[in-house]
C-alpha cells in the first residue's frame, strides 16, 4: 500500500466505482437512494426534538439521560451511528463538549453528518487539551468554576449534549423550543439560542 497519492481523487474514486460496477457489487440507484436519505432525513432537527422534549417533560429528560438510544427511539429517531447513544446534560456547574480525536465519529442519526471543522486536526487536537480556548473560538464563554467535560468518542458509544434551556422561554411551545436548539449546542461548542424578547 503506498502512502503517496499519484492519482487525483476523482480518478481514484472512479476507478473504485467502475471496478465495483463491473463486478456487480454496486447499484448506483441504491447508493443514491441511501445518500438522499442520509443527507435529507438525518440532521440536527432530530436531536433538537429530543432536547425540546426533555426541556418540557422532566420524565422524558430522565429517560433521555438514563438511556439515550431508547429515548430517542421513542420519538421515532433511529439510524446510523447510534447503536449506543449517551446524552450528557449541561448545567450551571457542568459544560459538556464532544469530539472524536481518532477520526470523526459522530451521532449521524440525531445530528446528520458532521461539519468540516469537527473533523479537522485543529478541533480534534485542541478541544481535548484546551477546551475553553476552543469554546471561546466559537464565542462561548464558560465560567472558571464550571467543570468542562470533553467526551472523546473513541469506541462505539456516541454522545449528544443536552444544552441548557435558554432563559425566558417558559411560554414557548415544544416546536418553538426545538427551533432554538442548533447543532453546535448539541456538540457542545455553543449554547442553545438566546431569546430576543
For residues 22 and 197, which CB has a smaller minimum distance to other proteins in the complex? 22
Query: Does residue 103 carry a catalytic annotation?
Result: yes
Query: Does residue 18 carry a catalytic annotation?
Result: no
| Interactions with other proteins, residue window 119-178 (CB under 8 A) | 119-121, 128-132, 144-157
Taking CB under 8 A as the rule, does residue 92 contact other proteins?
no
Q: Locate cell 438525518: which residue? A: 42
Taking CB under 8 A as the rule, does residue 13 contact other proteins?
yes
Q: Which long-range contacts (CB under 8 A, 24 or more apart) does 65-73 make?
A: 65/89, 65/162, 68/160, 72/46, 72/47, 72/109, 72/110
What are the counts of helices (DSSP H) followed by strands (DSSP E) for the chain? Answer: 11, 4
Query: Does residue 185 carry a catalytic annotation?
Result: no
Q: What's the rounded Cα separation, in Å, for the pair 19 and 188?
A: 42
Contact present, 164 and 191 (Cβ < 8 Å): yes
Query: Does residue 173 carry a catalytic annotation?
Result: no
Taking CB under 8 A as the rule, does residue 66 contact other proteins?
no
Query: Which of residues 105, 161, 178, 180 is near other proteins by CB under 8 A?
Result: 105
Q: How far is the CB of 195 from other proteins (least distance, A)?
A: 20
> Which residues are known catalytic residues?
100, 103-105
Amino acid at each position: 500500500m503506498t502512502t503517496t497519492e499519484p492519482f487525483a481523487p476523482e480518478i481514484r474514486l472512479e476507478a473504485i466505482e467502475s471496478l465495483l460496477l463491473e463486478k456487480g457489487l454496486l447499484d448506483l440507484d441504491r447508493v443514491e437512494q441511501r445518500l438522499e436519505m442520509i443527507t435529507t432525513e438525518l440532521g440536527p432537527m432530530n436531536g433538537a426534538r429530543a432536547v425540546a422534549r426533555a426541556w418540557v417533560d422532566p420524565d422524558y429528560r430522565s429517560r433521555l439521560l438514563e438511556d439515550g438510544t431508547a429515548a430517542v427511539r421513542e420519538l421515532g429517531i433511529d439510524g446510523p451511528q447510534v447503536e449506543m447513544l449517551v446524552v450528557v446534560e449541561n448545567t450551571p456547574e457542568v459544560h459538556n463538549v464532544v469530539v472524536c480525536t481518532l477520526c470523526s465519529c459522530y451521532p449521524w442519526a440525531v445530528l446528520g453528518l458532521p461539519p468540516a471543522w469537527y473533523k479537522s486536526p485543529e478541533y480534534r487536537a485542541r478541544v481535548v487539551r484546551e477546551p475553553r480556548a476552543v469554546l471561546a473560538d466559537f464565542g462561548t464563554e464558560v465560567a472558571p468554576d464550571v467543570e468542562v467535560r470533553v467526551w472523546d468518542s473513541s469506541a462505539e458509544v456516541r454522545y449528544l449534549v443536552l444544552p441548557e434551556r435558554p432563559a425566558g422561554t417558559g411560554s414557548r411551545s415544544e416546536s418553538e423550543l426545538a427551533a432554538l436548539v442548533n447543532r453546535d449546542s448539541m456538540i457542545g461548542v455553543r449554547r442553545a439560542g438566546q431569546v430576543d424578547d
